[in-house]
Amino acid sequence: MKTLHIHGGTGDSTLRVGESFSHLDQYVPVDRTVIITDPAVRALYGDRFPDCPIIEIGIGERNKTLKTVEFIYERLIKMAADRSTWIVGIGGGIVCDVAGFVASTYLRGVQFGFAPSTLLAQVDAGVGGKNGVNFAGYKNMVGTFNQPAFVICDMEMLKTLSRADLLCGFAEIVKHGAIADPALFRYVEDRRQDALALEPAVVERMVYDAVVVKANIVNQDEREGGVRRKLNFGHTFGHAVEKVTGVPHGEAVSIGMAVAGLLSVRRGYLGQTDLQRLTDLLEALELPTRLDVDPQQALDALKRDKKRSGDHIKFVLLKAVGEAVVEDIRISELEEVLHERSRD
């Protein structure tokens, strides 16, 4: 097991990569803990949960809502959960987002931790203390910055993931390499077959290196005033694709990274060779890089992004593999790129 720390404004987060989630009882007071999970994760791992009350939420992005949050508040009140209660989210990105948001707001905040069960949640949603829910058609519109006391990344849990879920996690690992760690990017290029076969040492190294990138960025800018925006690489357009097509988050982010790569080339920041490396790697990981959606519909969804201001939007571009920059771009510039791409 390897340990990392995030020092947040509201508290510190200890990230334990390679720890077993069966050791959860060492990190929480079991008699004062409530677990939030979903039925699929409970069916797979419920027999190894510590003996605590469990609140189940529905599976899928459509449950990442204030309605689900309200349902949990009601259950917590019925259980007489008080300020000494701990909340632990065991599940994927949606469970972590909802559990983190509830824990940060119930009684103005109680202690919480995560055991993310998907690769995507281990390297992204579970780490960094940014949790929220969708609202009125806007993605992650209502949320909090608040660090979980601990995050347990148990590699064993990845063995029950579907191929599609696994690939979505690799999209976020590629993102971390692309924005800040060329060695991680190269390692994924070299060892992608072993990673897809879930070779334990290879996956654990990729998770650890990706978490190092995220922790370093969050330690510099917890509340996303500057450098943290780079973690949004591929997400600005990706969220629009996700909304319009309903494709899984990681696939949408993969398309978003390819589009951001094209924009980076167009602006003269990124060389064609590096763009090719990015799209080759995503495709080798069986991730999509092309838009199978009406560009206009995606643009309309993009205009509803919370990072838009007037006719500009904050966009993360690449200067090289391993180096990102955040720029305001005109939506019309993005429109040109999308129309060009859909004509190819």
Ligand X SMILES: O=C(O)C(=O)C[C@@H](O)[C@H](O)[C@H](O)COP(=O)(O)O
Q: Is 130 annotated as ligand-binding?
A: yes
CB of 132 to ligand X, least distance (A): 7
* 39/247 Cα distance (integer angstroms): 21
CA-CA distances (angstroms) from residue 21 to 101, 106, 121, 154, 298? Answer: 21, 25, 14, 6, 39
CB of 217 to ligand X, least distance (A): 8
Q: Choose, by CB under 6 A, the member of 16, 192, 228, 277 that binds ligand X.
A: 228
When asked if residue 231 is in the footprint of ligand X (CB under 6 A), the reply is yes
**Per CB under 6 A, which region of 9-17, 52-60, 149-157, 224-232 contacts ligand X?**
224-232
* Degrees, nearest 5: CA angle 240-39-43: 130
Joined together, the tokens standing for residue 110 give 């109680």
Between 192 and 235, CB nearer to ligand X: 235
* 78/164 Cα distance (integer angstroms): 37
CB of 231 to ligand X, least distance (A): 4
Q: Is 243 annotated as ligand-binding?
A: no
Q: What is the DSSP letter of 268?
A: T
When asked if residue 205 is in the footprint of ligand X (CB under 6 A), the reply is no
When asked if residue 254 is in the footprint of ligand X (CB under 6 A), the reply is no
Pick out residues in 31-90 that bind ligand X (CB under 6 A).
none
Query: Cα 226 to the chain's mean position, in Å?
Result: 18
Pick out residues in 256-295 that bind ligand X (CB under 6 A).
none
* 333/157 Cα distance (integer angstroms): 42
Binding mask 88-127 for ligand X (x = CB under 6 A): ------------------------------------x---
Kindly give the pairing relationship between strand 86-91 and strand 111-116.
Answer: parallel
Q: Is 230 annotated as ligand-binding?
A: no
Shortest-Cβ-distance residue relative to ligand X: 140
Strand order in the sheet with 2-7: 2-7, 12-17, 150-153, 111-116, 86-91, 33-37, 54-56
Q: Choose, by CB under 6 A, the member of 235, 281, 287, 329 that binds ligand X.
A: 235
When asked if residue 232 is in the footprint of ligand X (CB under 6 A), the reply is yes
CB of 207 to ligand X, least distance (A): 15
Q: Which of 160, 95, 157, 156 is nearest to 125 (CA)?
A: 95
Residue with tokens 């696994």: 166
Binding mask 129-168 for ligand X (x = CB under 6 A): -x--------xx----------------------------
Residues 132 and 142 sit within 8 Å (Cβ to Cβ): yes
Specify whether the backbone of 313 is left (phi greater than 0), alpha (psi in -120 to 50) or beta: beta
CB of 16 to ligand X, least distance (A): 19
Q: Is 176 annotated as ligand-binding?
A: no
Annotated binding site: 130, 139, 172, 235, 249
Annotated binding site for Zn(2+): 172, 235, 249
| Interface ranges with ligand X (CB under 6 A) | 124, 128, 130, 139-140, 224, 228, 231-232, 235
